[in-house]
Structure 1
Amino acid sequence: MNASPAPRGVYAALVALYVLLFPYHPGLRSPNELCRLWQTRALVEYGTLDINRALQDFGYVGDLSVKDGRYYPSKAPLLSFAAVPLYAVMRVAAGGFLHAVREVPLVFFSRLLLTVLPTLLLLRLVRRFLGEYVSPQVADAVTVTYGLGSLAFSYSLLFMSHQTTAVLLFGGFYALWRVARGEWREWGYAVAGACAGATVAAEYTGALGVLGLVLYATLSVVWREEPARARWSRMGRGVGLALLGALPFLVGLMLYHQAAFGHPLESGYKHLNDAAYQPWHLGGFLGIRYPDPRAFALSFFSPLRGLFTLSPFLLLALPGLFLLGREARGRGEWRMHTWLVVALLAGYTYFTSSFSYDSWGWTTGPRHLTGLVPFLLLPVARVLERLRQLERPIWTGVAAALCTASIVITGLATFVNYVPDDVSNVFLGLAMPLLRAGYLPPNVLNLLGLSNPLAGVLLLAPLLGVSGWVFARLVRSEGKRPGASPLVAGGVTLALLLGVQLATVRHDAADRGAVGFLEKVWLVPPGRSLSFWPAP
């Protein structure tokens, strides 16, 4: 199916939320973000990989590795290096001295250019991809729900590598998909290889997703209707081009490891500075051991960080996978999609079930599953499409309500985006109490002199409006008004989801303490605006 022009107002609201929101609080000393940016500072200011001098000049941060007395971020280095040109330009524009670039604008523009804008480009690819398999109504609704109702929203607004991994993995898949359909020449394999190499350089666990891309690329050649000799020749060229694309990133990563940790295959996780974190990465492969039922259950269903609790629309991917498998009979393209989703879902499920759940720490949702989410969208979309085709209004209303709830729950959680470990429920136990107290997220409107909570309410309104639009988009057939059945079914579903939230929130001392702590460090509390630069 071909895509139709998207509803401009809805996508404009989505872009505005991505660009204007800035959930950041310097008092938290966000370690995952600042350790990367401190290395960016070190590269520009001192020309060093280690951040010893940056720690002295700009303050201590966490998430560090230490080797021979030299400190480095414990993370893969791609984002640190990607921010170097930005930092250099900002330094010159701000006067060119050591402390010219303040922390708040550095974090804001690093997010905007290196995590927000790539995700907005990803959403265009997602919409283009879904539009080939489902109606424009469903493709729009699923794309918007992914953009505002999943981990994509949360981690685009943080300078972390999780959404970067999702962007790179789907970008690599998109290149392979276009090549397999004959829409791109074979140089698309080089694009996919570059995305795969950059994925590993951005986040080591992204290698799980790369394995899925390798499987998809292999199947796209093996199941191709041409002589065996031609298939082997094509595979050889594809491997060569993919390696050519990946090589600069992999060689650069190994050179970085050699310079920082003394061996090309030795990462910072073997030299963690904080002894309390070391057990999480010992044993197995980078801490991946045998599955643990507790880690599995909490990663998917915890009221604090469960993937399906925050984004219940992703539950539709489970029946959608069976639907894809049934539709794949005799159709190579559909079979490739099915096997890719099965492989990625199995791999990421094993990972999140085998790694320490307690290591997710102060984040929105199970962050290492962020790279999986865009690959679940086609099964979700196929379920929604089939329900509309079969004219099942009750189940269509249920599915539409899951999408709406995802945008509301994940959207409000993202307004906070720093989630203490001891909160009972991120939606009712943390986000809603802060919202009621006027603690809305810092945003660009604050820079224009508009104080919170008014500035935050002006961003809350489009979030809620888009969530309602998604529901209406899905339950309405072309040229017809929705009947009572999908509206009632959707209302009942939303009530049940709210009931689950109410049943799991405690409002105990831990919840109140987390809310109180965040209020103390909130960058733009009620009645305040924001300034990037201090007055002379």
Structure 2
Amino acid sequence: MSAAPHPTPPSSGPAPAAPTAGPAPLRAPGLPRAVWATVAALYVLLFPYHPGLRSPNELCRLWQTRALVEDGTLEINRALRDYGPVGDLSVMNGKYYPSKAPLLSFAAVPVYAALRAVGGGHRYAVPEVPLVFFSRLVLTVLPTLLLLWLVRRFLRAWLSPTVADAVTVTYALGSLAFSYSLLFMSHQTTAVLLFAGFYALWRLSRGEWRERGYVVAGACAGATVAAEYTGALGVLGLILYAALTLLGTQAPWSARLQRLGRATGLSFLGALPFVAALMLYHQATFGHPLETGYKHLNDAAYQPWHLGGFLGIRTPDPRAFLLSFFSPLRGLFTLSPFLLLALPGLGLLKRQGRTSPEARALFWLTAVTLAGYTYFTSSFTYDSWGWTTGPRHLTGLVPFLLLPAGLVLERLREAGRPWLSGIAAMLCAASVLVTGLATFVNYIPDDVSTPVLALARPLLQAGYHPPNVLAFLGLPTALAGALLLAALVGVAACVFLALGRDAAGRPAPPLAWAAGLVTLALLGGAQAAFTRDDTADQNAVRFLQSVWLQPPGRAATPFWPRAGS
């Protein structure tokens, strides 16, 4: 496949709908390799996990993994007796199952089987900490690092290398992608699968992949629903995008319809194994192929959240909307303010769609996906999000907001308005700082006022640094934590410096620095204004200190305890 020329500047419109060349080569100038290495190191080394919390969303899946390997069963009754109780369960005829979609439970089977063999092959061979660590590493961390590569390739076809790289890095450390890659939950898995499916459709629409690539897109869509039921919202956006790219060509209508029919058949072929397996799982566990675990929750207190409407999705609630996007504790735009740039960016993308079918399809994909996820988060019970970083069910939406945000950043650099560029650049850098520090904790109690100033700051000041691999290898926890914190701050600074430059590559002028620092002060002031430092905040800090995996001045939980310890 031949290399593509440098992408057309966004102000002049995107590349044609079906060029013969591929995305811009990754050797084009962009952020230094050291930045990418730092991002990868933060993903691999950080391990925010505390066994004392009994993380229900993670452990219920892994208990089913244990049951599949050790007992050959879907129900986890014996695993609950042998390894301890967990939450997020469904019960049917006295048998317990995770209430979640099952893909991650099954995907972790080879990971657990390999660890079990290393540990001696007996029933209790794999302690909890290495099971969680390696399951995250293989199934949520490494796939996200692959996703970053796909995101970068896609953005470089539309944006300059500097902006494309900076947006990708901001997504990596300044969005829900970072938080949920470091948790064994399905939310970032959904984002990976959705964007991988989109990437396949995008390459197909440009004539760069053969038609059988629709099997890949279909497989990603089917796996998405098997990983997380609400991922169907994103799948609907992909279906719309595929239809627009197939029907928006200059070919005769008969040829377009024929291609649409072939694409539909190939996509269905790819999705079928996952959809069929999911329905068989529902039949075996809950007695009907369309019956999910949310109909049989073990905890009666959670049942009302999933009653009424469709799986608990009702009419929109203004409170749920406002808190999902603007809550001081876990609002999407509070944790990742750079995503606010995507809103005017949609206008830029729509304008380009007047002359480019590719841009028009991307606009409708983004707008419909944003509308679908907004309706869901506004119509579901906000209080059900749990001890999480941000509105977790919006994780699958975030990758599709990156191009519109990048278009705004590109336009500001070209317009020669350093004060606006400084503001936008600081929104990206602040996203890395805020979401990064929240992810250092990653289990955010519901009654805390703010994630950084009320929780992460007092924990760090007391010496409670995020659990990490360096400390497991023997490095003092304070030194290991300081290195990780310095890495996060360093990446945020690199993002600001890169985006503060003008289109000619000249360093950020004083006006951009001033605007950026004022923006940072305003964001920090808003966090400070909402930080209560009351009894609830203090109790949350004390509780997390009591269960911290690598506490200062006390013996930490070993990574792989010896048998009997």
Which of 383, 398, 408 is residue 373 of structure 1 equivalent to? 398
CA distance in 2 between counterparts of 1:360 and 1:507 reads 22
1:205-240 deviations in Å (ceiling 9; x for gaps):
000000000000000011011111110110000000
Query: Which 5+ residue runs of structure 2 have no aligned equivalent?
Result: 1-6, 8-23
1:126-158 deviations in Å (ceiling 9; x for gaps):
000000001001001000000000000000000
Instruction: State the Cα distance separating 1:533 from its structure 2 match.
Output: 2.1
CA distance in 2 between counterparts of 1:534 and 1:516 reads 26
Instruction: State the Cα distance separating 1:482 from its structure 2 match.
Output: 2.0
CA distance in 1 between counterparts of 2:317 and 2:560 reads 48
Which of 496, 500, 520 is residue 546 of structure 2 equivalent to? 520
CA distance in 1 between counterparts of 2:73 and 2:556 reads 36
State the partner residue of 1:237: 262
Note if contact 1:110-1:159 (Cα within 8 Å) is conserved in structure 2. yes
Which of 448, 459, 483 is residue 509 of structure 2 equivalent to? 483
State the partner residue of 1:218: 243
CA distance in 2 between counterparts of 1:5 and 1:85 reads 39
Counterpart residue identity of residue 146, structure 2: L
CA distance in 1 between counterparts of 2:498 and 2:437 reads 22
Which of 57, 71, 86 is residue 46 of structure 1 equivalent to? 71
State the partner residue of 2:321: 296
CA distance in 1 between counterparts of 2:335 and 2:355 reads 36
State the partner residue of 2:60: 35
Instruction: State the Cα distance separating 1:481 from its structure 2 match.
Output: 2.4
1:238-274 deviations in Å (ceiling 9; x for gaps):
0000000000000000000000000001000000000
State the partner residue of 2:16: none
State the partner residue of 1:136: 161
TM-score, length-scaled by structure 1 = 0.99
Counterpart residue identity of residue 491, structure 1: L
Note if contact 1:450-1:529 (Cα within 8 Å) is conserved in structure 2. no
Note if contact 1:452-1:529 (Cα within 8 Å) is conserved in structure 2. no
CA distance in 1 between counterparts of 2:463 and 2:436 reads 16
Counterpart residue identity of residue 536, structure 2: A
1:334 pairs with 2:359: yes
CA distance in 1 between counterparts of 2:176 and 2:295 reads 28
Which of 320, 326, 339 is residue 314 of structure 1 equivalent to? 339
SS of the residue corresponding to residue 38 of structure 1 reads helix
CA distance in 2 between counterparts of 1:446 and 1:535 reads 18
Which of 268, 272, 277 is residue 252 of structure 1 equivalent to? 277
CA distance in 2 between counterparts of 1:229 and 1:516 reads 67
State the partner residue of 2:107: 82
State the partner residue of 1:432: 457
Instruction: State the Cα distance separating 1:535 from its structure 2 match.
Output: 4.4
State the partner residue of 2:531: 505
Map 1:133-532 → 2, pairs under 5 A: 133-477=158-502, 478-527=504-553, 528=555, 531-532=558-559
CA distance in 2 between counterparts of 1:424 and 1:26 reads 24
Instruction: State the Cα distance separating 1:107 from its structure 2 match.
Output: 0.1
SS of the residue corresponding to residue 120 of structure 1 reads helix
CA distance in 2 between counterparts of 1:400 and 1:186 reads 40
Instruction: State the Cα distance separating 1:480 from its structure 2 match.
Output: 1.8
Runs (4 or more) in structure 1 with deviation over 3 Å come to 527-530
Counterpart residue identity of residue 532, structure 1: F
Q: Mean Cα displacement is larger for which, 521-530 or 179-188? A: 521-530
State the partner residue of 1:108: 133
SS of the residue corresponding to residue 477 of structure 2 reads coil
Counterpart residue identity of residue 161, structure 1: S
Instruction: State the Cα distance separating 1:515 from its structure 2 match.
Output: 0.3
Q: Percent of counterpart pairs with the same letter?
A: 72
Residues 56, 529 of structure 1: alpha-carbon distance in 2 compared, 3 angstrom cutoff: closer
Note if contact 2:224-2:232 (Cα within 8 Å) is conserved in structure 1. yes
Note if contact 1:451-1:526 (Cα within 8 Å) is conserved in structure 2. no
Counterpart residue identity of residue 328, structure 1: G
The CA RMSD measured in Å over matched residues stands at 0.9
Note if contact 1:451-1:529 (Cα within 8 Å) is conserved in structure 2. no
Counterpart residue identity of residue 461, structure 2: R
Residues 479, 267 of structure 1: alpha-carbon distance in 2 compared, 3 angstrom cutoff: closer
CA distance in 1 between counterparts of 2:216 and 2:115 reads 30
Instruction: State the Cα distance separating 1:451 from its structure 2 match.
Output: 2.5
Instruction: State the Cα distance separating 1:92 from its structure 2 match.
Output: 0.9
CA distance in 1 between counterparts of 2:395 and 2:29 reads 28
Note if contact 1:312-1:403 (Cα within 8 Å) is conserved in structure 2. yes
CA distance in 1 between counterparts of 2:552 and 2:96 reads 38
1:156-198 deviations in Å (ceiling 9; x for gaps):
0000000000000000000000000000011111100000000
State the partner residue of 2:17: none
Note if contact 2:159-2:406 (Cα within 8 Å) is conserved in structure 1. yes
SS of the residue corresponding to residue 310 of structure 2 reads coil
SS of the residue corresponding to residue 71 of structure 1 reads strand
Q: Mean Cα displacement is larger for which, 445-454 or 213-222? A: 445-454
CA distance in 2 between counterparts of 1:325 and 1:30 reads 42
Note if contact 2:497-2:507 (Cα within 8 Å) is conserved in structure 1. no
Counterpart residue identity of residue 487, structure 1: W
1:368-397 deviations in Å (ceiling 9; x for gaps):
000000000000000000001111111000
Instruction: State the Cα distance separating 1:5 from its structure 2 match.
Output: 5.0
State the partner residue of 1:533: 560
Counterpart residue identity of residue 498, structure 1: G
Counterpart residue identity of residue 501, structure 1: Q
Note if contact 2:144-2:192 (Cα within 8 Å) is conserved in structure 1. yes
Note if contact 2:320-2:381 (Cα within 8 Å) is conserved in structure 1. yes
CA distance in 2 between counterparts of 1:202 and 1:16 reads 26
Counterpart residue identity of residue 228, structure 1: W
CA distance in 1 between counterparts of 2:114 and 2:289 reads 31
Note if contact 1:443-1:455 (Cα within 8 Å) is conserved in structure 2. yes
Query: Which 5+ residue runs of structure 1 have no aligned equivalent?
Result: none
SS of the residue corresponding to residue 124 of structure 2 reads coil
